[in-house]
Amino acid sequence: MFRLAAYVFSCLYLAIGSAVTHAAVVLTDDAGKTVSLSAPARRILTLAPHLTELLYAAGAGDRIVGTVEYSDYPEAAKRIPRVGNHDSLDLERILSLKPDLIVVWLNGNAQKQLDKLLAFGIPVYYNQPKTLSDVPRAIEAMGRLAGMETQAARTAGEFRNRVAALRTRYAGRAPVTLFYQIWSKPLTTLNGRHLVADVISLCGGKSLFADLEPIAPAVAQEAVIQADPDAIVSSSLLRDGLNLWEKWPRMRAVKNGNLFAINGDLISRHGPRIAEGAEKLCEILETARQRNTGADPRK
């Protein structure tokens, strides 16, 4: 309790001091809130795996003093101290790390605990990429927050070039109807507001159930069978979740061998590796496209 009280006092002191000086970093986050730092952050806490990846991409990985479970990329991220997971945080542990900035996943962290953190006066930056073009902007924002603009700009530019190349390559291709499966029990997909939907569209795919709510809606197996998609992609390298479709050999996806698994960490996280995930998904949909027309996908 004494430690908490001391930390509150120090935060109030710093807040009063910084109020009379010009902020070196001022950004508007994805929640529409203005974040002001008197100097680039040196001790950053990330509360989602993709935020850890974004900071490393910006060249600021060594500024991360704490993170949450599943922040496992790059390899160095595995050595960062853990402060909980997406819905349960160790507030005492967080305060002991003395962060000068907390980076939060806008729709992926428990708001009640975030409210407690906000009460301590620690600056919080909310991030929520919704489209592929948001990802390089997020990298650049992390670079500004940490004073690593040059490295962040370089990485962001490389990301934009990879996505632009995919957009050019797959423009005008025949559409492929797709059921994107993130879980089998219950059967769950992603709607059109998720970042993955932008990837699917980039590759010439047309996602089933894009109009459903919430972002990750559960759907009936019968609805997928009736929609009869050209391909089914599971965001897990384990193919167990795809086995349920083999009972329906008349489905186009099954008949044409278009049941695929993809590494969900590459495509479902809102970080820089989604460019690699997009390349793999585009290859998958091109294979499905060629199989549906009877062409050899290797040519």
Read off the pLDDT of residues 21-55 as tens digits, 9 standing for 90 and up: 444 899 999 999 999 999 999 999 999 999 999 99
pTM of the model: 0.87
173-293 CATH: 3.40.50.1980
pLDDT at 248 over 90: yes
- Residue 101: the pLDDT is 97
Write the CA distances from 294 to 128, 170, 291, integer angstroms: 40, 19, 5
- Residue 237: the pLDDT is 65
Digit-coded pLDDT (tens) for 75-106: 999 999 999 987 788 999 999 999 999 999 98
User: Please, where in the chain does CATH 3.40.50.1980 lie?
Assistant: 2-156, 173-293
72: which strand partners?
A: none
Give the span between the Cα atoms of 165 and 227, in whole angstroms: 31
What DSSP line would sit under 135-181, residue for residue?
A: HHHHHHHHHHHHT-HHHHHHHHHHHHHHHHHHHHHHTTPPPEEEEEE
249 neighbors 222 (Cβ within 8 angstroms): no
Give the span between the Cα atoms of 212 and 102, in whole angstroms: 32
Q: What kind and span of H or E run contains 36?
A: strand 34-37
Digit-coded pLDDT (tens) for 180-239: 999 998 999 999 999 999 999 999 999 999 999 999 999 999 999 999 999 999 998 666
Q: Residue 127: which pLDDT band, with cuts at 50, 70 and 90?
A: very high
Residue partners of 264: CB distance under 8 A and separation at least 6: 182, 235, 236
Q: What percent of the chain is modeled with pLDDT above 70?
A: 88
Which is nearest to 227 in space by CA: 187, 195, 267, 262? 187
Average of per-residue pLDDT across 132-152: 97
Q: Residue 289: which pLDDT band, with cuts at 50, 70 and 90?
A: very high
Q: Peptide bond preceding 297: is omega within 30 degrees of 0, i.e. cis?
A: no
Q: Residue 295: which pLDDT band, with cuts at 50, 70 and 90?
A: low
Which has the minimum average pLDDT: 18-27, 45-54, 61-70, 251-260? Answer: 18-27
227: Cα separation from own chain's centroid: 28
Tokens representing 66 are 């704490």
pLDDT at 5 over 50: no
Helix axes 274-293, 195-202, angle to 10 degrees: 50
Which is nearest to 145 in space by CA: 107, 99, 113? 99
Q: What is the mean pLDDT of the chain?
A: 89
Please check whether the domain covering 2-156 is classified as CATH 3.40.50.1980.
yes
Residue partners of 113: CB distance under 8 A and separation at least 6: 87, 88, 89, 91
pLDDT at 178 over 50: yes
Average of per-residue pLDDT across 274-287: 98
Which is nearest to 145 in space by CA: 15, 35, 32? 35
pLDDT at 14 over 70: no
- Residue 108: the pLDDT is 63
